[in-house]
Structure 1
Amino acid sequence: MVIAIGFEGSANKIGIGIVKDGEVLSNCRRTYITPAGEGFLPRETAEHHRQKIHEVLKEALEQSGITPDKIDVVCYTKGPGMGAPLMVCAIVARTCAKLWNKPILGVNHCIGHIEMGRLITKANNPTVLYVSGGNTQVIAYSRNRYRIFGETIDIAMGNCLDRFARVLKLSNAPSPGYNIEQAAKKGKKFYQLPYCVKGMDVSFSGILSYMEDKIDDLLKTHTPEDLCYSLQETTFAMLVEITERAMAHCGSDEVLIVGGVGCNERLQEMMGVMCAERGAKLFATDERFCIDNGVMIAHAGALAFQSGAKMDFKESTITQRFRTDDVYVTWRDD
């Protein structure tokens, strides 16, 4: 039996969660929300995390009913992510590990999403579409690594949606991507946008620039809802295409969508149609586990800890660039 606490703060969410042998005991989170038309910057985001992390930690411990002496391992997001917010979490995790005299483990953020998705949905060996504000990758497991089959060559899917929300001055509460999704449901008139699939990779920056440059003209013939609808349909079709190609290559009959954009019901619907045509099964989670959270870091860390992974305290640093396929997956032997 392993009880793990996880600290996540790679972007604008500060989350702390506790798991006990795959059972979620607490999942507490706060979100840094900026005014409409503005993104979140590293310094201000880190300050938000500094102000909130102690109350989130207290809440996570109280909600779980677990005292620090019962915790077996302290886990934190090592990367990828924004440097200053990552550092806030790492410092608090290191402090807790020292105060409680517990081992510490740095966890890859992307692996956290994948393992949490597998735990919640019970997917066995899926082709994974990982779509969030900072990452867009198609991933499949092979020989103790999560291999990247395709990815964005510029900005992430979530970043594209967030930045277009700023162009339209949509609210950042609860999230810009959510508000684009709701607006898109009212869109009726499709506008043909550039479709940028390059082999197994995708590109979103050109689509975003195209819409930014033409926004005044576009709004003369289309409503903001039409443009949100057109952006979603085009970019999601790109993601479904590269996911299906990876499935064909791997002979896979399961798809798991993880990451913040994975909450999007239209993306799930489009992926579901593709899966149905292939006789495959789609797995997805809701906002509790799709959006960045501390539980996913705790669970992935617990899996690594149970399989014998150790980290010297001197190695408990952060890195903004931490590839999914850099991690040697010791807890899987299939």
Structure 2
Amino acid sequence: MSFSPIKIDEAAPAPVSRPAPSMAIVVPCHNEQEVLPQLFRRLEKLEADLLEREAIGGPMALILVDDGSTDRTWEAIEAANTSLLVTGIRLSRNHGHQHALFAGLMKADADVVVSMDADLQDDPDAVIGMLEAYDNGAEVVYGVRGSRRKDTWFKRWSAQKYYALLSTMGVDLIPDHADFRLMSRKALDALSEFGETNLFLRGLVRQVGFTSATVTYDRAERAAGESKYPLHKMIALALEGITSFSVRPLRLITLLGFAIASLAFLFTFYSIFAWMFGKTVPGWTSTVVPIYMLGGVHLVALGVIGEYVGKIYQETKGRPRFIIDRTVTGGAVEAPISMASAKASMGSR
């Protein structure tokens, strides 16, 4: 595996001699029983490599979050046959990928925490480059997909349009970055201060700030199982990102309203002019078509406004972002949820 040169997004401070950090990897899981054995093997190899390089200060922790799986994912986590320090977190139901990931991040107790998906499409070896960037002063390191040859044409096209749409709407994102990233303890503590119920971590992490870097890697095929992000979930995630970090759609509605009002004014002027010169056009088409058009525009505008109002409604309820059913560490079942976890799940209110 070869990496592209590390690219520092912002001016980093003068490199300091950081001690080798403790590290945890957080992996949200939903129906991933087929891929977990391969994930364990890849991460064991990564741990051995990092320890040999003295890039980490001790054994690597692995936090697996079962997001309401309906297969035997939880049983596979409980019976994990690996040398890694495995902690399993079972959520009470399917809360969604972003909430499951956030639950794991809040549980992690390490100097640096890496988040990644279980399907191994994001190369674990890229963590080596992330740790190098961290050692050079970066507090957040983003994994960026350099090549997506293994993805279908539609997947590549939709991903390109996805990032273009969010950029147009004013959402600050790293292109071709999903949720494969390294965060320092400093950055994680800052992230925990955000109190949103509706989570879009790609945007939230950018809001955290601090010195950041990117590491480019080649995206692989899914190791096993099926994708948990079909088209409708990608669309929902895009809407979540737009409505969580941009009011531009509301401003576009305002501009559209001014444009339609201007056209209506011109049409009114034309109608008066035609009436004065006896050139009134009989028929109902010129009346019905504008009514239908304006009706459609109004419904779209109400839908956009309703999306924002609904989000406000959800946020004001202050419901927990996740509820933990149980946790297991090294085969020992722990208490269902601690007060610290409960506070993290509620957010700062």
TM-score (structure 1 length as normaliser) = 0.28
Q: Which has the larger radius of gyration?
A: 2
Which protein has the bigger strand share?
A: 1
TM-score (structure 2 length as normaliser) = 0.27
